């Protein structure tokens, strides 16, 4: 199966000099084509029902079959175009790890401020240890999941997709389109719960585009932000550490307990973006 994947990847060299939109469509079509032979039997085995919300365990199983394909495809496109992976923001250099750490720290800080405010105002409450899984016991697994999912999505959306679109579009237009695609593709997993989050997902994509720009084109800062947000949210959800008290409207705290589906989550992203924007100006040469 793996050899068949490589044969398909290397047979698409004609795409190297086509317009960006053609390459983007070909990328996602190829990604889906490579995934379907794995996804279909997996969906049958898991008795997946597309019209119902996807349980966390099933989503992780699908991601485990889908996401390992993406780096191979990005590498293939870079090879066809005779470009280093650093063109897509991935350069294995110590600076990448430094930016990754800074982004993760900023993500943790932004959510700590938001949830700390929720707690102070009585909008959420900590559940007793006897009522949930100890938070410490899930931190490592959710960190690894955040790094993996965040890294893969940044390589695809802020790496390959943004870089390709910028070849044919002004940077702001490429940012808007890549962020829109990023948001809409989340509908694959769960339409009902994702719809209220679409504006927040789009804004998150725009903030991550800004993070890559501030980081000099590297994905390190964006990867860290993305991974950190996933880490905190997934840890709280997996441990069942907090509960919403219902004293604040859902449009404010997030529909269904999803911060990206609420005004507070939007403000958190805007504040993060404003900080990044300020850092971008500070880093400009005098």
**Tell me, what's the pLDDT at 243?**
93
Query: How does strand 242-244 pair with strand 124-126?
Result: antiparallel
Of the residues 59, 83, 107, the one at which a domain ends: 83
Joined together, the tokens standing for residue 38 give 């794995």
**Tell me, what's the pLDDT at 130?**
59
Looking at the structure, tell me whether residues 133 and 247 fall in a common domain.
Answer: yes
Q: In total, how many domains does the chain have?
A: 2
CA-wise closest residue to 57 among 218, 182, 238, 230:
238
Compute the average pLDDT of residues 115-137: 85
Looking at the structure, tell me whether residues 75 and 110 fall in a common domain.
Answer: no
Which domain does 48 fall in, by range? 1-83
Count of CA atoms in the C-beta half-sphere (13 A) of 55: 8
Joined together, the tokens standing for residue 186 give 């989340």
Reply yes or no on whether the pLDDT at 107 is more than 50.
Answer: yes
**pLDDT per residue over 253-272, tens digit each?**
999 899 999 999 999 999 99
**Tell me, what's the pLDDT at 97?**
95
**Global pTM value:** 0.90
Looking at the structure, tell me whether residues 219 and 139 fall in a common domain.
Answer: yes
d(CA 153, CA 211): 14
Looking at the structure, tell me whether residues 253 and 189 fall in a common domain.
Answer: yes
Looking at the structure, tell me whether residues 135 and 240 fall in a common domain.
Answer: yes
CA-wise closest residue to 32 among 65, 77, 79:
65
Compute the average pLDDT of residues 198-206: 97
φ, ψ for residue 126, nearest 5 deg: -75, 135
**207 lies in some domain:** yes
**pLDDT per residue over 175-200, tens digit each?**
999 999 999 999 888 888 889 999 99
**pLDDT per residue over 18-41, tens digit each?**
778 888 999 999 999 999 999 889
d(CA 69, CA 205): 21
**Cα angle value 229/232/236 (rounded, 5°):** 140
Q: How confident is the model at residue 147 (pLDDT cuts 50, 70, 90)?
A: very high
d(CA 261, CA 269): 12
**pLDDT per residue over 210-240, tens digit each?**
999 999 999 999 999 999 999 999 999 988 8
Per-residue exposure over 7-18, b if at least 16 CB sit within 10 Å of its own CB, e if not? eebeebeebeee
In the chain, the DSSP E strands lie at 124-126, 242-244
Q: What is the DSSP letter of 57?
A: H
Reply yes or no on whether the pLDDT at 282 is more than 60.
Answer: no
d(CA 114, CA 103): 17
Residues 219/154, Cβ–Cβ less than 8 Å? yes
Looking at the structure, tell me whether residues 27 and 99 fall in a common domain.
Answer: no
**Tell me, what's the pLDDT at 286?**
36
Sequence-distant (≥ 6) Cβ neighbours of residue 153 within 8 angstroms: 182, 226
Of the two residues 92 and 258, the one the predictor is more confident about is 258
């Amino acid at each position: 199966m793996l050899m068949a994947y490589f044969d398909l990847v290397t047979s698409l060299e004609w795409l190297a000099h086509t317009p960006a939109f053609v390459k983007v469509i070909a990328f996602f079509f190829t990604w889906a084509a490579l995934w379907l032979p794995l996804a279909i039997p997996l969906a049958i085995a898991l008795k997946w029902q597309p019209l119902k919300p996807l349980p966390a365990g099933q989503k992780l199983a699908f991601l485990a079959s889908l996401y390992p394909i993406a780096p191979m495809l990005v590498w293939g496109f870079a090879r066809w175009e005779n470009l280093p992976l650093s063109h897509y923001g991935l350069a294995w250099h110590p600076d990448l790890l430094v930016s990754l750490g800074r982004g993760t720290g900023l993500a943790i800080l932004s959510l700590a401020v938001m949830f700390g405010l929720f707690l102070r105002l009585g909008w959420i409450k900590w559940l007793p240890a006897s009522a949930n899984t100890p938070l410490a016991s899930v931190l490592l697994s959710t960190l690894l999941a955040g790094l993996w999912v965040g890294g893969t999505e940044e390589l695809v959306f802020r790496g390959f997709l943004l870089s390709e679109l910028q070849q044919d579009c002004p940077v702001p237009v490429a940012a808007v389109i890549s962020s829109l695609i990023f948001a809409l593709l989340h509908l694959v997993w769960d339409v009902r719960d994702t719809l209220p989050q679409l504006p927040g997902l789009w804004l998150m994509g725009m903030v991550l585009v800004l993070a890559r720009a501030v980081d000099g084109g590297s994905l390190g800062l964006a990867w860290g932000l993305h991974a950190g947000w996933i880490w905190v949210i997934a840890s709280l959800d997996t441990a069942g550490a907090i509960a919403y008290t219902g004293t604040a409207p859902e449009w404010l705290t997030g529909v269904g307990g999803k911060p990206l589906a609420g005004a507070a989550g939007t403000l958190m992203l805007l504040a993060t973006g404003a900080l990044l924007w300020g850092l971008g100006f500070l880093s400009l040469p005098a």
